[in-house]
Amino acid sequence: MNRREFLKRSAVTPALASTLGTVGPPADAPRRIRCGFLGINHSHALDALKVVRASPDYELAGVCEPDDAVRAAFQDRPELDGVPWLSQDELLGDETVRMIAVEGDVPRLLPLGRAAVDAGKHIHLDKPAGTSLPEFRALLDEAARQNLIVQMGYMFRYNPGFDLVRRAVTEGWLGRVYSIHAGICTNLNPEKRKIVAHHPGGLMLELGSHLIDLIVLLLGAPAKVTPFIRHDAPIDDALADNTLAVLEYDRAIVTVESAAMEPHAFTGRRFKVCGTEGSVTLAPLEPPGARLCLEKPAGEFQPGTHAVEFEDLQRHVLDLADLAQCIRGNSQFAYTKAHDLAVQETLLRACGVAP
């Protein structure tokens, strides 16, 4: 994504924030977009479902869970109370449904997403984009052929703290960026560890993907990626639970870490960008708080150190609102196929897997 697109994204997000707290659409609001969920056991699925059900932009047609065992495990959840259960043919064959939120677990994301695209639907495809780069490329190619939007579920794209980071980098506040240090850890119980252990990248695939998306957004694809994929917890399972990747650029170096056994991990999540004329640090990431250090005046800030506070926004509200505007043709979707492919290739390299 180029500089102009970054700035446009930063300008769009505050406008979208005005949709928060809206009880219902005004009388002259555009017709709601009919949508459905395909898969329901992604870690973001129920949160996204809650947002869609409350959104003035969407009308929920129903949920399809092709896996009977998964449906049995979720059908009594309160978040699904009153939601119609549909077969895959019923959901994808409904010509009035324009958008599908693909919310299966990671190993099923690409086949479910491809089924939705083949049916002519715009999709919100949760993250990461599976584990097969050729399969993801084929999905994006088919979506492009049909003029369909594929929105990845990287939630930090719409985080106001990262809007500040984007501005600081793209408007040159920090001078030449020479390093990024990013960490996103968690503390998984044994059952959740089993779920994440489906791929050799482990926590780098599951959580590091969020940060790699933003790093590629800021700096592009790296020249070299060196992964460190380890199992260090005293638990006898197959999860790569202590992971680090070093991304090398022509004049910058980036580290990304993600581990599965850090107590109170959310408060320690961070994203620090350093340049020759300043730095910006987000810590924590949610709700975001920033420390901005500047050598020279930049934007609305004077030289010195600034603590910047942000509104604590609910996840998925802004990204799904943006998707609705793009489906209606009122806004141009900012994230390109080239960016999403670069993210996925970089992520797989960071997981120690050849793309």
Each residue's pLDDT, cut to its tens digit, for the chain (355 residues) gives 443 344 344 444 433 333 333 333 444 456 899 999 999 999 999 999 999 999 999 999 999 999 999 999 999 999 999 999 999 999 999 999 999 999 999 999 999 999 999 999 999 999 999 999 999 999 999 999 999 999 999 989 999 999 999 999 999 999 999 999 999 999 999 999 999 999 999 999 999 999 999 999 999 999 999 999 999 999 999 999 999 999 999 999 999 999 999 999 999 999 999 999 999 999 999 999 999 999 999 999 999 999 999 988 899 999 999 999 999 999 999 999 999 999 999 999 999 998 8
Does residue 164 sit in the same domain as residue 106? no
Does residue 126 sit in the same domain as residue 267? no
Buried residues in 191-204 as b, exposed as e (16+ CB within 10 A): eebeebbbbbbbbb
The CA distances from residue 228 to 188, 249, 269, 342, 344, in Å, are: 20, 18, 19, 20, 18
Residue 355 has what pLDDT? 80
Taking the C-alpha atoms of residue 289 and residue 306, their distance in angstroms, rounded to an integer, is 11
By DSSP bridging, strand 177-183 and strand 270-275 are antiparallel
Cα 281 from chain centre:
19
Taking the C-alpha atoms of residue 229 and residue 15, their distance in angstroms, rounded to an integer, is 40
| Angle of CA points 37, 50, 195, to nearest 5° | 65
Cα 91 from chain centre:
24
264-272: long-range pairs with CB below 8 Å, 24+: 264/187, 265/185, 265/186, 265/187, 266/186, 268/183, 268/185, 269/183, 269/184, 269/185, 270/181, 270/182, 270/183, 271/162, 271/165, 271/180, 271/181, 271/182, 271/211, 271/214, 272/180, 272/181, 272/182
Residue 354 has what pLDDT? 84
Does residue 84 sit in the same domain as residue 165? no
What range defines the domain where residue 14 resides?
A: 3-154
Taking the C-alpha atoms of residue 103 and residue 126, their distance in angstroms, rounded to an integer, is 6
Does residue 186 sit in the same domain as residue 142? no
Residue 72, class by beta-carbon neighbours within 10 Å (0-12 exposed, 13-18 middle, 19+ buried)? exposed
Does residue 178 sit in the same domain as residue 291? yes
Residues near 248 by Cβ (< 8 Å), separated by ≥ 6? 222, 223, 224, 225, 226, 254
Nearest in space to 305 (alpha carbons), one of 318, 323, 290, 292: 292
DSSP reduced 3-state for 337: helix
Q: Which amino acid is at 42?
A: H
Does residue 145 sit in the same domain as residue 196? no
Does residue 102 sit in the same domain as residue 176? no
Taking the C-alpha atoms of residue 111 and residue 92, their distance in angstroms, rounded to an integer, is 13
Does residue 261 sit in the same domain as residue 300? yes
Does residue 65 sit in the same domain as residue 100? yes
CATH number of residue 216's parent domain: 3.30.360.10
Please indicate, yes or no, if residue 61 is contained in any of the structural domains: yes
Please indicate, yes or no, if residue 329 is contained in any of the structural domains: no
Residue 136, class by beta-carbon neighbours within 10 Å (0-12 exposed, 13-18 middle, 19+ buried)? buried
* Residue 104, CB-side half-sphere exposure with 13 Å CA sphere: 26
User: What residues form DSSP beta bridges with 261?
Assistant: 187
Taking the C-alpha atoms of residue 123 and residue 115, their distance in angstroms, rounded to an integer, is 10
Cα 316 from chain centre:
9
Q: What sign has the CA pseudo-torsion 318, 335, 159, 227?
A: positive
0.75 cut: is pTM over it?
Answer: yes
DSSP reduced 3-state for 334: coil
Taking the C-alpha atoms of residue 63 and residue 84, their distance in angstroms, rounded to an integer, is 6
Domain count, the chain: 2
Taking the C-alpha atoms of residue 332 and residue 330, their distance in angstroms, rounded to an integer, is 7
Does residue 78 sit in the same domain as residue 119? yes
**Whole-angstrom Cα Rg for the chain:** 20
Residue 12 has what pLDDT? 41
Taking the C-alpha atoms of residue 239 and residue 29, their distance in angstroms, rounded to an integer, is 48
